[in-house]
């Protein structure tokens, strides 16, 4: 942090995921199946370290998909496939060292990309 201007230089490649409560890509298919094709979860977060800073990203996720079920027959066991068709992430807030920051459109885009990479 630069004390003269109260600004931080953000470099996405320096962010390391250290904690969170979020659905991984592996969990999305199960949640889509359980919800009958789509779901929304408003309370997801990821915590990153960037140097000495702690960055908490709170977001909402919406996911939808296609479910293909085959009941099988005498020779073929039943099967189920779920294809994830759409994932939409909405950044609700970002805290840097427990201080909420204002988000420009560029920062929202960067944090959405960061969350998406870490799902």
Q: Is 75 contained in some domain?
A: yes
Range of the domain at 111: 14-117
| Overall number of domains in the chain | 1
Tell whether 4 is covered by a domain. no
Q: Is residue 5 part of a domain?
A: no
Model confidence, pTM? 0.81
Confidence of residue 6 (pLDDT cuts 50, 70, 90): low
Residue 97 lies in a domain: yes
- pLDDT computed for residue 55 by the predictor: 94
Task: Give residue 4's pLDDT band: very low, low, confident or very high (50, 70, 90).
Answer: very low
Asked whether residue 3 is assigned to any structural domain, the reply reads: no
d(CA 56, CA 111): 10
Buried (b) or exposed (e) across 82-96, using 16+ Cβ within 10 A? beeeeeebebeebeb
Residue 88 has pLDDT above 50, yes or no: yes
CA distance 57 to 95: 7
Q: Is residue 12 very low, low, confident or very high in pLDDT (cuts 50, 70, 90)? A: confident
Give CA torsion, residues 24, 57, 103, 113, to 10 deg: -30
What is d(CA 66, CA 86) in angstroms, rounded to the nearest whole number?
Answer: 10
Structure confidence at residue 7 (pLDDT): 65
């Amino acid at each position: 942090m630069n004390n003269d201007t109260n600004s931080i230089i953000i470099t996405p490649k320096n962010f390391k995921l250290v904690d969170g409560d979020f659905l991984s890509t592996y969990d999305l298919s199960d949640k889509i199946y359980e919800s009958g094709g789509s779901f929304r979860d408003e309370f997801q977060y990821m915590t990153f370290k960037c140097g000495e800073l702690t960055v908490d990203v709170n977001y909402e996720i919406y996911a939808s998909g296609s479910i293909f079920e085959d009941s099988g027959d005498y020779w073929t066991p039943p099967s189920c496939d779920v294809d994830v068709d759409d994932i939409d992430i909405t950044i609700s807030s970002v805290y840097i060292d427990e201080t909420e920051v204002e988000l420009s459109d560029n920062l929202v885009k960067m944090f959405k990309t960061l969350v998406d990479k870490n799902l």
